[in-house]
Amino acid sequence: MTAKLKEYPELTLTPESIESALDFEDIFGRKAAVHIEIGSGKGTFLLNQAKAMPEMDFIGIEWARKYCRHAIDRLGRWGIKNVRIIRTEAADFLREHIKDGSVDCFHIYFPDPWPKKKHNKRRLVNLENFDQLLRCLKPTGIIKFATDHADYFEQVKKIIAEKTDRVEIIDFTPAAGTENGEITGTNYERKYIKDKRDIQAVAVRKTA
């Protein structure tokens, strides 16, 4: 029998409870570096990273209700205090609720590639949303991106090439809890490695 997922309200943010821009210090009760993962799935990355870096705070954004519930249950059972999860649409959430220059790092790992050409415009990382990410980042803040989809990676590289006046490519540091050959340690990455898919990643630092 599958164990019932528990709810941990102290780890949960709800869109209806947020009327304006988030105050991270108020949410976490302290002033600390803030990392946001867009598409947090069942919370594998957040769990490992939050355990390894208790001095930092993390927010996970996930649209799928079942994954969001799994992530909250997992983090709650581990007693993680420095993570909050919200179920919402990421692009709108950034635009409406994240202050300018407030985020230290964005993690975007294996987002939906929307592979059909007519659906490419739905991809999370496009020019408009990339500008939003840069707006939210602190000076020298970082964006880390990984995908198994070659066309999506080419799109991201083109966006970065258009923004060389604002970002610089840096080394992609593997996440906490990664195993041999991994860079993000997410469930998707582990699945794709087993499937022998080619995984590509890039990290950029904000310069202006």
Catalytically active residues are 112
Spatial distance between the Cα atoms of 143 and 189, rounded to a whole number of angstroms: 18
Q: Which residue's structure tokens are 């310069």?
A: 207
User: Torsion over CA of 206, 117, 153 and 189, rounded to 10 degrees?
Assistant: 110
Q: Is the C-alpha dihedral spanning 146, 149, 155, 161 positive or negative?
A: positive
Q: Residue 186 and residue 207: Cα distance in Å, rounded? A: 28
Contacts of 69 (CB under 8 A, 6+ apart): 5, 7
Alpha-carbon distance 31 to 57, whole Å? Answer: 9
From the list 177, 175, 176, 157, the residue with the least C-alpha distance to 167 is: 157
